[in-house]
Amino acid sequence: NLLWSDEFNGDSLDLTKWTFINGNGCDVGLCGWGNNELEWYTPSNTKVADGKLVIEARKFSTDGSPASYTSSKIMSKGKADFGSRRYEASLRLPFGHGIWPAFWMLPSFGTYGGWPHSGEIDIMENIGKEGTNTVHGTVHYGLDWPQHQYAEAGITISSEQSSLNETYHTYSVERLPGIIRWYIDDIHYSTITKKEMKPYHWPFDEDFYFIFNMAVGGNWPGNPNDDTSFPQTLEVDYVRVYE
C-alpha cells in the first residue's frame, strides 16, 4: 500500500514535504561536506516542471556563491520521516567525471549519537568516473573515526539495458526490523542484516528522512576534468513510500 509520495506534479518544490540545504557545509563545521566536495548548494538550482524534480549542477556560478560550482540539496527531515518501510524513487542520472548524485537517508533523531553512530542509508549513489551503468547501495554505522564502519555493494546493469543517464530507472530499499535490502528496477542486489553488523549496534530501526543531492567533486568521485560537461541534471520522476 502506498503510504506517502511526491509525484512532483506542481510547478515548484512542495515545502510541506521538503527543506533546502544551503551552502558548502562550513556553517555546520563540515566544509566540503566532510568529503572535500566543491559545490555550493542553492535553491536556485532546483526546479519542478513537467512532472519531475530537476536538480542541476552548474559551473562558474553567477549568483554570488563563493564556489566555482553550484548545485542543490533537499531533505524531508521533520516533514516526512519513516521507519521500516519500502522506499522507491524513479531517477534519471547525470554523467561526468566528478559528478556524484545521491538518494539517501539520515536518522531523524540521532538516537545513538552523531554520525555514524545513528546510521546512514545510501539507497543510490553513482560516481561518473565508473561509467553510466554502475550504482552503489551502502550503510554507514559504528563508532567515531577510525572505527567508522560501512557495508557497500555496487551493481552494474547489463549493457543491453538503457544507460542510467538515458532513461529512468527505479532505486529501492526495503527496510524491515533487522534487515535492509537494495533493488534496482526491482532486481534485488544486496542485503545486510543485524547479525552481520555485530559487535556494532544496529541503528536502522529508527526513523530516517530522505535526501536528494548532486555533489561536484570529492574524495570518492574525484574532481571534474576537461571531459566533464555542464550543466548536469539529476531528474526525479517520483519518490514513494510503501507499507
Cβ atoms within 10 A of the Cβ of 94, count? 25
Q: What does each C-alpha distance from 67 to 26, 135, 161 come to in angstroms?
A: 12, 27, 37
Report yes or no: 23 and 40 within 8 Å, Cβ to Cβ.
Answer: yes
Burial of residue 66 (number of CB atoms within 10 Å: 0-12, 13-18, 19+): exposed
**Helix (H, G, I), strand (E, B), or coil: what is residue 129?**
helix
d(CA 154, CA 136): 4
Cβ atoms within 10 A of the Cβ of 151, count? 16
Which grid coordinates belong to 55?
Answer: 536538480
Nearest by Cα to 20 from 35, 39, 4, 42: 42
Active site residues: 120, 125
**Helix (H, G, I), strand (E, B), or coil: what is residue 128?**
helix
Sequence-separated (6 or more) residues with CB below 8 Å from residue 212: 53, 55, 73, 74, 89, 102, 103, 234, 236, 239
